[in-house]
Amino acid sequence: MDSTILYAFLLTLFAGLATGIGSMIAFFAKRTNTAFLSVSLGFSGGVMIYVSFIEIFPKALDELVGAHGEQAGTLYTVLAFFGGMLLIALIDKFIPSPENPHEVKFVETMQNDPSSQELATTATESVPLNQATKQRLHKMGLFMALAITIHNFPEGLATFISALDDPAVGLAIAIAIALHNIPEGIAVSVPIYYATGSRKKALKLSFLSGLAEPLGAVVGFLLLMPFLSDTVFGLLFAAVGGIMVFISLDELLPAAREYGRAHHAVYGMVAGMMVMAASLILLM
């Protein structure tokens, strides 16, 4: 059990630190690779949707039906599933759209703020910014980092709980979440870089915001593990399924299409489902 817990923690750390990849893309790419982002976000959505309905929801149902009978168990599973959706929906509701990390972000538009012509067109150019612009960009980056921290907390819990039950499923979810964390790194690092002129500070804040993933796992471990009965596990698992389905349908797939590569998004989604299906079959 100890090695399984350590493995689950490491997966959440891996998923969270992927925000740093987005930071590096923002600094070294002059244009957004829309094809890559569309496919990767679609892939993430496909993995999450497939595993939620094929693996997570049925396992939660089995646990709760076994503990409470068919009718009550089914009711508890459904309520927990939609409760997970409600949780992530409320998080989105109270985060203003400009700071929502799942809104579509482009390197070009982040580097060229529409209200100011003072920003550089690439991360390698140096153009003086006035103090007001720097303060506004710094505030934007901080709010973005806070929003990502809030979003990543339940995602970390989802990865952790999934990995405890099935290491292979946990790995697939961690990879999916890591891919969708890449655009979030862009959203944090670019405004901080232009506000401070420091790549080091931008990378640091981006990485720190991603650490909310393992923080969610730590909190889940400390608060929930002592009470982890069949009922608690079933409720958590069903809620995790709801969280991932909501993120996929409300954020990942729409964002993938808005990058201008609608077919790439669909191809990525189908590929994610196929990879998840194949991994589950091979590990049966």
Annotated binding site for Fe(2+), which residues? 152, 155, 181, 184, 213
Residue ranges at the known binding site = 152, 155, 180-181, 184, 213
- Amino acid at site 148: I
DSSP sequence for 80-119: HHHHHHHHHHHHHHTS-GGG-TTS---HHHHHS-TT-S-S
CB atoms within 10 A of CB 55: 22
Burial class, 281, CB count within 10 angstroms (exposed 0-12 / middle 13-18 / buried 19+): exposed
In whole angstroms, what is the distance from residue 30 CA to residue 195 CA? Answer: 18
Cα distances from 136 to residues 2, 28, 38, 52, in angstroms, run: 46, 23, 29, 40
